[in-house]
Structure formats: C-alpha cells, structure tokens
C-alpha cells in the first residue's frame, strides 16, 4: 500500500507543480493590482520613479516568465519531455531571483499589502524551484 501511494503521488507531482505555478502567478497579479499607498498600484501612471519603474519591470517580466514556465510544465505533464522539466526549472530559478530583487526594492521602507503578496509569490517560486530540482534528482 505504501509503495502504491508513493507511485500515485509521483504521478500527480507534475500536476501539482503546474497548480503551484498558477497560484504563484495569481499572487504576482495581486501584488501588481493592489494599491501601494499614495501612488496607487504599481502599473498606474501616478506611481513612477526609479524604484517603481524597476519594480514594474520586474513584475511584468515575472508575469510573462510564469506563463512560459506553465507552458513548459504542461509539456512535461503531457509528453514527459525531460528538456521541458529543465526549462521549467530554469524559468522558475529566474523568476525566484527577479521576485527577490523586486521584494528588495519594495521593502525599502514600505509596509503595504503589495509587499506581502510579492513575498508570498517569491516564496512559492523558490519552493517550486526546490521541489522541481528534488523531483529531477530522484
């Protein structure tokens, strides 16, 4: 029974990676959509400046990279291409680094909900990357 349960969890593993990527994408969208205080949300015209432009660029890039990682995840789930798993891992590593940079810029004296959602998105991205690497090494 234990072996059968382990095998069924192993079959579900790629699907959970895709679900986690999509949940992380949702939190990244929330971090961009919520107000940052006096200037509004990150993508509003009133919220500009060097740090805000950098954060806007990092979040926009991550939103695109999440979609690409999801495509690689679907390819791996459907066709079991090993290169798709490596591509998914590579994109998740890049996403983790970019989200960490965005959080570093955002936490510079701010205490808004955007910081919280970006932290959640970054944590999920790092967790996905670790889980994918562990799954690949097994």
Give the structural domain span for 76.
Answer: 2-137
Q: How many angstroms separate the CA atoms of 92 and 24, rounded?
A: 11
The tens-digit pLDDT sequence of the chain (138 residues) is 444 444 444 555 667 778 878 888 888 888 888 876 677 788 888 877 767 888 889 989 999 999 999 999 889 888 888 899 889 889 988 998 898 888 778 777 666 667 767 777 888 888 888 777 777 776
Q: How many angstroms separate the CA atoms of 86 and 98, rounded?
A: 18
**Looking at residue 123, which CATH number applies to its domain?**
1.20.140
Give pLDDT, residue 138: 65
Q: How many angstroms separate the CA atoms of 59 and 101, rounded?
A: 10
Q: What is the tally of structural domains in the chain?
A: 1
| 41 backbone dihedrals φ, ψ, rounded to 5° | -85, 170
Give pLDDT, residue 77: 84
Residue 57 corresponds to which tokens in the numbers above?
């660029």
**Closest by CA position to 106, among listed 120, 86, 91, 127:** 120
Give pLDDT, residue 47: 78
**Closest by CA position to 94, among listed 70, 129, 131:** 129
Give pLDDT, residue 2: 45
Give pLDDT, residue 1: 43
Q: How many angstroms separate the CA atoms of 35 and 127, rounded?
A: 27
Q: How many angstroms separate the CA atoms of 136 and 123, rounded?
A: 20
Give pLDDT, residue 71: 93
Give pLDDT, residue 9: 45
Q: How many angstroms separate the CA atoms of 117 and 123, rounded?
A: 10
């Amino acid at each position: 029974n234990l072996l059968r349960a382990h095998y069924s969890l192993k079959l579900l593993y790629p699907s959970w990676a895709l679900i986690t990527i999509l949940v992380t994408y949702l939190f990244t969208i929330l971090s961009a959509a919520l107000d940052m205080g006096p200037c509004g949300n990150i993508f509003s015209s009133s919220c500009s400046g060097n740090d805000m432009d950098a954060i806007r660029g990092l979040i926009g890039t991550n939103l695109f990279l999440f979609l690409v990682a999801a495509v690689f995840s679907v390819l791996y789930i459907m066709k079991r291409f090993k290169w798709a798993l490596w591509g998914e891992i590579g994109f998740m590593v890049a996403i983790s680094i970019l989200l960490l940079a965005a959080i570093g810029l955002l936490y510079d004296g701010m205490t808004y909900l955007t910081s919280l959602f970006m932290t959640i998105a970054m944590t999920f991205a790092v967790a996905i990357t670790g889980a994918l690497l562990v799954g690949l090494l097994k």
